[in-house]
Amino acid sequence: MLLDGNAAIWWQGTKRSNPTWTQAIESLRHAFGRSQPPYQIYRELFSKEQGKEPTDVFINKTRALLAKLPSTDEPIPIKSQIDMIYGLLHSRIRRNIPRDSFDTFELLITKARALECNFFDHIESQKIINEKNEEKFKNFRQNCSFCNIYGHNINNCRKREYMLKNEKKNLP
């Protein structure tokens, strides 16, 4: 069975009254579909800019919102849909992928995936380089917090050891 939970129970009660597939789909949408007026769909669409989620996931979510628009309205041209969604993308994506370089969602998703892959590879390589540099710097330039001389730390400081020995000798 394709349906489960409440939808399966609903189907068991209404399957006799829906003899055709199109009627069954329409009844299912009527029973479980959340019908919103177009203005609410547009508000939801334009209230969400891309955050940290992958671009292909964001594009598919926004396209799903556009698909919720009633079919009685004039369909929005693909070019306008692309323009709307492109404006909501992360600025890094918009900076590196010019709007006139694609005309389909598939091409936009392909270019965005390649850009994100390169971006995350660059971030990973920068992290590795920074970790290596920090490790070199820590080992190379140790600074004693007691005497402020480079090359050793407070645990190996001779001046501190000398001061501690003198303090013990001077105690009555």
Query: What's the rounded mean pLDDT across residues 138-146?
Result: 75
Q: What is the pLDDT of residues 11-21, one digit of tens each?
A: 788 888 888 88
Q: What are the DSSP calls for 135-165, one per residue? A: HHHHHH--B-TTT--BT--GGG-HHHHHHHH
Structure tokens given for 80: 């306008």
31/151 Cα distance (integer angstroms) = 75
pLDDT band at 67 (very low <50, low <70, confident <90, very high): confident
Q: What is the pTM of this model?
A: 0.57
Report yes or no: 83 and 99 within 8 Å, Cβ to Cβ.
yes
Q: Are 50 and 58 in contact (CB under 8 A)?
A: yes
* 3-state DSSP assignment of residue 74: coil
**CA–CA gap between residue 147 and residue 12 (Å, rounded):** 83
